[in-house]
A and B are shown apart, each in its own frame.
Chain A
Amino acid sequence: MIEAFLEGLLLVLQWKAFAFMLLGIVLGFWVGLLPGLGGTTTLALMLPFIYAMQPIEGFAFLLGMHAVVATTGDITSVLFGVPGEGTTAATILDGHAMAKKGEAGRALGAVLASSLVGALVGALALALAVPVVRPLVLSFGSPELFMIAIVGLAFIASLSAQGARGMMRGFLAGGLGLMVATIGQDPQAGVARYTFDVLYLWNGIDLVPVLIGIFAIPEIVDLAVRGTSIAGELPKGSLNKGAFEGVKDTFRHFWLTIRCSLIGTFIGIMPGLGGAVSQWMAYGHAAQSARTDEERRGFGQGDVRGVLGPGAANNSKEGGALIPTVAFGVPGSSSMAILLGGFFVLGLVPGPDMLTKHLTVTFSMVWTIVLANVITVLACFLLLNHLAKLTTVRGQLLIPVIVVLIFIGAYTGNNHYGDIIVMLVFGAVGWLMVVGGWPRAPFVLGLVLGKIAENYLYISVARYEAAWLMRPIVLVLIALAVAVICYPLIQSRRSRARAAARHA
């Protein structure tokens, strides 16, 4: 185990893997700063470029990029009150309030230092989870793995939107993803399903153009509709001022930072919750740590603890989210679903093999998260003044560059014009989903899990017939899926009853 751990470090430090990680960091760095371009979108954009890479290089590139997006996204949130990423919105409450009070440097110092602590806690959790998770994974057969896929889908579908109708849309989106995954030649009977005699469709719909279309096109359209630069005017003066004070704040409230990191890690492990939830829970916990009412009223007005909590949780969730992705092949979020696509592109199958045969690759991911965050935080401290200027790039300059990138990215899926058509079609689907208020994460999860789930279901039915439904772990997982679906509904009904009682 320790040998594999150290070997993972040495593999990441090989010049080629390290160079790809640095390239990923540079890309993730800019993407995090720009609100118009999400980390998940960029991950989808860059997926085609790992085809020619070795697994270590591919993951160093993708994870290096993804690990730093939340860190730099916090910078935009603090400076402009505009979330650099969907997962960095909670940082605005106190971070931007601090910036308005002339404490931007301190807020940035705090958010960068807490991000680093969070990333280290998440990576440590991933490393420690390997020996614990391994026996559990090895005891799972096809029926259990199929049910885990269903539970993951139930989690993300029920939690990615509010209310009964929102949940229904989540399940519809997930179901649509599963249905799209059935297009192509069936692996069991060799039937060409929904191909309409089009040869391109025989191999199924490629993941990359779908992901690019569904995530990038709605964001490009939105940027064009707004017709403005991404952010407003830059604040005057040096932002470096007070940055060291923010670092000291992190250590002054060290246990709060650790607790919020653990919250982020735990939520990262749970499929379907993700960063958007963890940042608010961490913020809530930070607010809870206030001892008096007066202290609590300071939250939202520029209390540094309101910056430390979300900052730490945002980065610790990545290590946590990798645990179910690597060990079970169940991604906890859209970005992890795309990363799961990366596994297949690189010829790796998530699951037991990642904890035995490819253990060094798993540990190389841990080291990539650690190294990428350390490098980014150091670079941020050196570049604080210049960073802010990037968010004023005009949308009119950004759009043609992004459009060129997404077309090339989609085309390289199969080097076929059909990929571009697929991207445009799913771009329209993504736009309709966003406009209609549908969550896109369950669709992506359904698409990614479709082939895996079908394979496990077929093996389960062929091997055990209906008896697979009576296996103990399967029963537990069915109960969990039901609970996952019912809990938000019960919770919503309770809060409505409480509100009605208050009005009465």
Chain B
Amino acid sequence: MHNKASLALSAAIMACSGFAVYAASSWPWKAALFPIAIGIPVFCLAAAEVVWSLAGSADTERAMDFAMSDDVPAPIATRRTALTVAWMVGFFAAIALIGFPYAVPLFVFLYLRLQGREGWIFSVLFSAAVWLFFHLVFDRLLHLPFPAGWLF
């Protein structure tokens, strides 16, 4: 997983930086200077990382960064990751369709009921509390403009 993710990332960066340099080559030098100056070394480094990953050399280096928990079996972790992504994409779809003011309590309620397996009363009360916080802070206090959704 570790090496596959690194390979996917470095291959994507290699493709993007290659395209970036190619596209910049037709621009005036003022606009092209920085993308080319950055793009070429990034392409070379990404290519080296791709070769390193494909060679399958042992990857023992650790980034000084947050690391994902490894105490959950891989199939369960993959399923939970996919579910979380699906919830987020679903929330975005709900925002686009019915707007933030309706999507927020709906998402919280459905997440608590379906994912969290919480009771009806708790889910309703918690969703109402989140909606109230959203309404008071972002709508009333900060006056953020939330457009209506495509449906209503």
Residues on A lying within 8 angstroms of B by beta carbon are 38, 49, 52, 86, 159-163, 165-166, 168-172, 175-176, 178-179, 182, 186, 188-191, 193-194, 217-222, 224-227, 276-277, 394, 396-397, 399-401, 403-404, 407-408, 411-412, 415, 417, 420-421, 424, 427, 429, 431-441, 453-454, 457-458, 461
Our count of residue pairs bridging A and B at CB distance below 8 angstroms stands at 219
A166 pairs with B62, CB closer than 8 A: yes
> Within the complex, which residue of A222, A404, A434, A437 is in contact with B107, where a contact is CB–CB below 8 Å?
A404
A400 pairs with B138, CB closer than 8 A: no
Within 8 Å CB of A166, what residues of B? 61-63
Within 8 Å CB of B46, what residues of A? 172
Task: Give A225 to B80 CA distance when docked, in angstroms.
Answer: 5
Within 8 A of A (CB), among B12-58: 13, 16-17, 20, 23-24, 27-28, 30-31, 33-35, 37-39, 41-42, 45-46, 48-49, 52
Say what secondary structure dominates the interface of chain A: helix
Task: Give A218 to B33 CA distance when docked, in angstroms.
Answer: 34
Contact A169 to B6, CB < 8 A, known contacts A397-B126, A437-B61: yes
A193 pairs with B35, CB closer than 8 A: yes
Contact A182 to B38, CB < 8 A, known contacts A52-B142, A218-B68: yes
- Nearest Cβ distance between residue B46 and chain A, in whole angstroms? 6
Task: Give A411 to B142 CA distance when docked, in angstroms.
Answer: 14
A161 pairs with B31, CB closer than 8 A: no
- Nearest Cβ distance between residue B20 and chain A, in whole angstroms? 6
B61 pairs with A165, CB closer than 8 A: yes
Q: Does B85 contact A (CB under 8 A)?
A: yes
Within 8 A of A (CB), among B88-104: 88-89, 91-92, 95-96, 100, 104
Within 8 Å CB of B91, what residues of A? 403-404, 407
- Nearest Cβ distance between residue A179 and chain B, in whole angstroms? 6
B34 pairs with A227, CB closer than 8 A: no
> Within the complex, which residue of A162, A172, A188, A403 is in contact with B31, where a contact is CB–CB below 8 Å?
A188
Within 8 Å CB of B151, what residues of A? none
Report the nearest A residue to B19, measured CB to CB.
A194
- Nearest Cβ distance between residue B26 and chain A, in whole angstroms? 10
Task: Give A70 to B110 CA distance when docked, in angstroms.
Answer: 34
A404 pairs with B130, CB closer than 8 A: yes
Task: Give A227 to B41 CA distance when docked, in angstroms.
Answer: 41
- Nearest Cβ distance between residue A459 and chain B, in whole angstroms? 11
The 7 A-B pairs at the shortest CB distance, nearest first, are namely A396-B116, A175-B42, A436-B6, A166-B61, A436-B5, A191-B31, A188-B30
A sample of 19 inter-chain contacts (CB < 8 A) reads A161-B63, A169-B61, A172-B10, A175-B13, A178-B42, A182-B20, A186-B31, A221-B68, A221-B84, A225-B76, A225-B80, A227-B80, A396-B112, A427-B88, A435-B5, A436-B2, A437-B2, A437-B61, A458-B34
Task: Give A400 to B105 CA distance when docked, in angstroms.
Answer: 10
Contact A401 to B6, CB < 8 A, known contacts A434-B66, A454-B34: no
Within 8 Å CB of A454, what residues of B? 33-34
A276 pairs with B62, CB closer than 8 A: no
Contact A396 to B95, CB < 8 A, known contacts A169-B49, A226-B69, A458-B34: no
> Within the complex, which residue of A168, A408, A429 is in contact with B9, where a contact is CB–CB below 8 Å?
A429
Task: Give A178 to B39 CA distance when docked, in angstroms.
Answer: 9
Task: Give A434 to B91 CA distance when docked, in angstroms.
Answer: 24
Within 8 Å CB of B92, what residues of A? 407, 420-421, 424
